[in-house]
Amino acid sequence: MAERKIERVLRGTETRDGAGVRLLRVFANREASLFDPFLLFDAFGSDDPDDYLAGFPWHPHRGIETVTFMREGDVAHGDSLGNSGVIGPGDLQWMSAGSGIIHQEMPQESPKGVHGFQLWVNLPRAEKMRDPAYRDAKASEIPSVLVTGGEIRPIAGSFDGVQGPLTGIARDPAYFDAHLEASATVSIPTPVAHTAFAYVYQGELGSVDGAVSYGPGSCLLFGPGDAAVLSAGPDGARFVFAHALPLHEPIAWGGPIVMNTREELEQAYEELDKGTFVRKRGRMN
């Protein structure tokens, strides 16, 4: 086994997005080449309604997938395909924008605040203009795989032969929610060619030698290898872990739209102006 080393640690930048939602932008366009095919990772969350109630009103996406995973609170959503609903604690929404979708994500006031993550995954050039699609999973649908001193919950992809509930996703990425007790160690197998990262949201996590541990808000990008071996600190660790095969394709980034060329971006925004952006449409609630 070739153990993946922690190659880089990012701590992100606090900012506001949407109509004013406070969040930690862990990585985005400046780091996208390092995290290929992952484009962006946001950790949003606050106990103050003023930090989240403005939400993310109707906005477009093309060429990417957005993955929203809730820890606390509720987010009401709707899209141009006619999908709508509420994502609650532990729930997940995986949306493939494909050729174009318009959607909204509106956090609801909660006594525990609203806390969660959003991950963007790039679509391959050959699939950027496919029909948009939507998948979701309730917390109760996500299986738990017990490991020594903890558990791994596969959301997409599989761990130890247990498949997560979200399948049929471009490039077959893996996305896990993990919990380790104090000083516990876990080995997470990964195909050698895949990009892999972890984001710590509680406790401390580090390499198995224990030389350095990283606390909440730390994003760990791993170097090459076929397994990430991670050890929790004295208070345990909770983290998400993702891996996928990189695309090695050019990126043309224009806000919520990510294509391969500037010409494709210009075409997308021209279609937005003309009202022809959405190729497949349902009823927006």
Q: Is residue 279 part of a domain?
A: no
The answer to whether residue 198 sits within a structural domain is: yes
Could you tell me the pTM of the whole model?
Answer: 0.95
At residue 156, the 3 state secondary structure works out as: strand
Q: What is the pLDDT of residues 124-161, one digit of tens each?
A: 999 999 999 988 999 999 999 999 999 999 999 999 99
Rounded to 5 degrees, what angle do the CA atoms 154, 52, 40 make?
45
Q: 253: domain range?
A: 3-274
121 inside domain: yes
Decide if 83 is inside a domain: yes
Is the pLDDT score of 283 beyond 50? no
Domain count, the chain: 1
Question: Does 136 map to a domain?
Answer: yes
Q: How many other CB atoms are found less than 10 A from the CB of residue 219?
A: 23
- pLDDT tens digits for range 213-266: 899 999 999 999 999 999 999 999 999 999 999 999 999 999 999 999 999 999
In a domain, 248, yes or no: yes
Whether residue 178 lies inside any domain: the answer is yes
Supply the mean pLDDT for the chain: 94
Whether residue 166 lies inside any domain: the answer is yes
CATH number at residue 45: 2.60.120.10
CA distances from residue 105 to 13, 68, 229 in whole angstroms, order as listed = 21, 10, 35
